Each structure stands twice: as C-alpha cells, then as structure tokens.
Structure 1
Amino acid sequence: MKMISTVFLCVLLFSSSHALDFCVGDVKGPETSVGYLCKPASKVTVDDFVFTGLGVAGNTSNIIKAAVSPAFSAQFPGLNGLGISIARLDIAAGGVIPFHTHPSASEVLLVTQGQILAGFVSSANTVYLKTLKKGDVMIFPKGLLHFQLNAAGYPSIAFVSFSDPSPGLQILDFALFANDLPSELVEATTFLDDATVKKLKSVLGGTG
C-alpha cells in the first residue's frame, strides 16, 4: 500500500507540472556556453519572439564590401536554447565574405538576389564550389572553412540559418593578420614572405 501511495504521489506531481516551453534569454546578463539565463516568464512578451532587423540592407562600405546582419540570441532573445538562428548577407559588387568558420553550427544559405559563388573545404582538403542563383540553397557543415563572394556584378543578398543560436565566427584572414601575432610566426606557419605578411597586417590593422 505504501508503494502504491508513493507512485500515485509521483504521478500527481508530474501531471501538475510541465516542462518549460522556451527560455527567452536575459541578454542583459552574461552568455554562457549553454546560452543565456532565462528571463522570468512574467517579463516575456511577444516582441521577444519577433525580429525586424533583416529587412534592412547592411552597410557594405568596408574593406570586404559585404555585411552580415545577425539575428542570434544576443539580438533575438527568443532564440535562446532553441538551437537555431538566422542572418542576412549583403554582398556588394566585388564583395566577399572571406574564408571563415562557425565553431558551433552548420549553416544553410539561401540566395534571394543576384548570384553568389560559395564554397567550402573538407578536412580532406576537397573543395566544394558552386555559383548560386536566386532560390538556390547550399549547406556548409559545422566547423569547416567556407566563403561567399559576389558573382553577379551588382548587389547580392542571401539569408543564412544556423543550427545554433550563437554559432560563433572566426575569419581566417583576420585571425592571421588583424592582431598582434608576430610576423615571423605568421610567415613560418603560412610560408608567406615577410613583405606580404607586413602588407596584409597593414591592410587589416594588425601589428607585430
């Protein structure tokens, strides 16, 4: 009889409780390896689940002639904990999103305007390359180096979705030439000559 009572109590407790439907991120607090802490349910509003920033073109007046407008958990707190995010790519004529990786997510790219030459390199150094037109979709597996460049001669637009609300980003060129990593180490690890390394550092703002 005691065991039956215990089982009944457990069933009653579980039936009267429920799992969290969502965990809207408290973006005023720190982001951890598993995302943001949840906002109190009483402070969650419909605006936490709506993002309006992707309808506006990004500023492409920069060295790469391209812009990424993110809707990650930091900008879109309703994504927190859901394993997804999205961003807009604007690539002007002659523009490029240089070789980069997303350590935490795979990526799906959908071209909505123009043409984009996109590709990635596998860990076996196999190159997968394609010129994408409006309506075409390409995937980039998690952690692999990939790039996108304008192949239309006029502004191209794409939307990219990720399998993580905070996919992370590391751009290869910036990692090599936009910091204080000593030039001699860059030269030793890339087989580039000193003049080339110094030139790239001056262009990208690096020192050393």
Structure 2
Amino acid sequence: MKVVYFLVTILALASSFASAYDPSPLQDFCVGINDPKDGVFVNGKFCKDPALVKAEDFFKHVEPGSTSNPLGSKVTPVTVEQLFGLNTLGISLARIDFAPKGLNPPHTHPRATEILIVLEGTLYVGFVTSNNANGGNRLFTKVLNKGNVFVFPIGLIHFQLNVGSGNAVAIAGLSSQNPGVITIANALFKASPPISQEVLTKALQVDKSIIDNLLKKSWYDNN
C-alpha cells in the first residue's frame, strides 16, 4: 500500500511539473533589470530592488505597427523583453495590425497558448492539430469579427488572415512571459546555416528546382 501511495505522489508531482511552463512567482513582482548590480537573478532576469520599482515598470504604450511589407501585417510584441514588469508573471501579449488581405503567416508559440480578440475588422483564423491516431492533422478555422475571441492551443501551427475590405487589429494574450515564435516558412527556408536541400526536397515531396527557388526568396519576418 505504501508503494501505491508513493507512486501516486510521484505521478502527481510529475504532472504538476509537466504542466508548469513559467515558474510561479515567490514574491509580488520581480521587475527585470539589465544591470546585475544589487540584483537577484530570477527567471532569466535580474530583479530590480523592490524599493526602486515604479508604476512605469508595469506600463508600456503600444503604437500601431506598419503593415507596409510583403505580408501586409505587423506583430508588435509586449513580452518580458519589452516590459520588464512581466518578469515571473507568466503572461505577455501582442498587438497585430493587418492591411486589407494582410496575413500573419503560419507559426507556432513553443511555450504559450494564445487567446486572440479582434478589435477591428474581420479575420479568418485557424490552427492545425498534431498528428492524430490515423496520422492526419485536423484544421480548425473560424471567421472572426469585432469582439470575437479565439484560442490557439500551445505549440500548434496557427494563422490569421484579414478577409475584410479595410484594416484589422487584434490583440493576442499569451500564457508565458516569453512565448517564443517559430514562423514555419522562415524556419524552413531562412535557417542559418540553411537546411540541406536533400532534406527539404524529400520532406516536401517536390523537385529540387522548387526548393532552390524557395531558398532564394527574401522571407519577411513580421515580428
């Protein structure tokens, strides 16, 4: 019986560790600083002396992003790198601006689930599941209007496309202070050093000439 209790305890602890991405804070806040003098290193940042913390450490004004680029979209992140007051709090956000027909291309956040709310315009959004039992990948899509909310589960490939006639704006909340982003096309064709053409040709099941052309393109990063 003691062995059973021990195994249950171990499984419970393992489950709790597996589900925790950003460590829980052990203080009210830990405003990150770049200068280690008189600081304490926590969650990848040095904590500012609490006596010196100001309201400005938790404040940031986010300007609209320029959509004058090949994708017609701009992601303006507010992570711990832009707002040190987020350090240890396990959240961040991003503002996404879209020109008409603008696209936030297929990408993933390796460390965060995303919840998106549309402030203006109409977006076609979706995500693709990981391999299911029969080897397929299921696509979930929805057309969102102003005030609509949609969730993209952690680590899954997702996208947003402006299908309205005007500009669109959305805010994305993310469940990590540093969610990360992997844009699929950029990762495949803009890696440094580049991925082997043999790998890409076989993986994508296309002719080498197509891979040659894709590798020569200037892949734009809208983040």
TM over 0.5: yes
State which of 93, 100, 105 in structure 2 corresponds to 1:86: 93
Deviation of 1:152 (Å): 0.5
Q: Aligned with 2:186: secondary structure?
A: helix
**Does residue 145 of the first structure (1) align with residue 157 of the second (2)?**
yes
Question: In the aligned structure 2, how far is the partner of 1:162 from the partner of 1:72?
Answer: 9
* Residue in 2 that maps onto 1:181: 195
Gapped regions of structure 2 (runs ≥ 5): 1-25
TM-score (norm 1): 0.82
* Residue in 2 that maps onto 1:106: 113
**Does residue 42 of the first structure (1) align with residue 51 of the second (2)?**
yes
Identity of aligned residues (%): 38
For the structure 1 residues 78 and 122, does the alpha-carbon distance in structure 2 shift closer, same or farther, using more than 3 Å as the test? same
* Residue in 1 that maps onto 2:12: none
**Paired letter, 2:92:** S
Is contact 1:90-1:158 (8 Å) kept? yes
Q: Aligned with 2:214: secondary structure?
A: helix
> Where do 4+ consecutive residues of structure 1 move more than 6 Å?
none
* Residue in 2 that maps onto 1:162: 174
State which of 126, 135, 143 in structure 1 corresponds to 2:138: 126
Deviation of 1:119 (Å): 0.2
Question: In the aligned structure 2, how far is the partner of 1:67 from the partner of 1:78?
Answer: 24
Per-residue CA deviation, residues 71-125 of structure 1 (Å, 9 max, x unaligned), is: 1001011111111111100111121111110000000000011111100011131
* Residue in 2 that maps onto 1:9: none
Is contact 2:118-2:146 (8 Å) kept? yes
State which of 14, 23, 32 in structure 1 corresponds to 2:30: 23
Question: In the aligned structure 2, how far is the partner of 1:23 from the partner of 1:122?
Answer: 35
For the structure 1 residues 28 and 133, does the alpha-carbon distance in structure 2 shift closer, same or farther, using more than 3 Å as the test? farther
For the structure 1 residues 73 and 177, does the alpha-carbon distance in structure 2 shift closer, same or farther, using more than 3 Å as the test? same
Is contact 1:91-1:150 (8 Å) kept? yes
**Does residue 67 of the first structure (1) align with residue 74 of the second (2)?**
yes
Deviates more, 1:84-93 or 1:186-195: 186-195
For the structure 1 residues 27 and 146, does the alpha-carbon distance in structure 2 shift closer, same or farther, using more than 3 Å as the test? farther
Count of residue correspondences: 184
**Paired letter, 1:58:** G
* Residue in 1 that maps onto 2:122: 115
Is contact 2:42-2:88 (8 Å) kept? no
Is contact 1:27-1:77 (8 Å) kept? no
For the pair shown, the structure with the greater C-alpha radius of gyration is 1
TM-score (norm 2): 0.77
Q: Aligned with 1:89: secondary structure?
A: strand
**Paired letter, 1:173:** A
**Paired letter, 1:203:** K
For the structure 1 residues 33 and 192, does the alpha-carbon distance in structure 2 shift closer, same or farther, using more than 3 Å as the test? farther
For the structure 1 residues 33 and 101, does the alpha-carbon distance in structure 2 shift closer, same or farther, using more than 3 Å as the test? farther
Question: In the aligned structure 1, how far is the partner of 2:42 from the partner of 2:158?
Answer: 24
Question: In the aligned structure 1, how far is the partner of 2:43 from the partner of 2:89?
Answer: 11
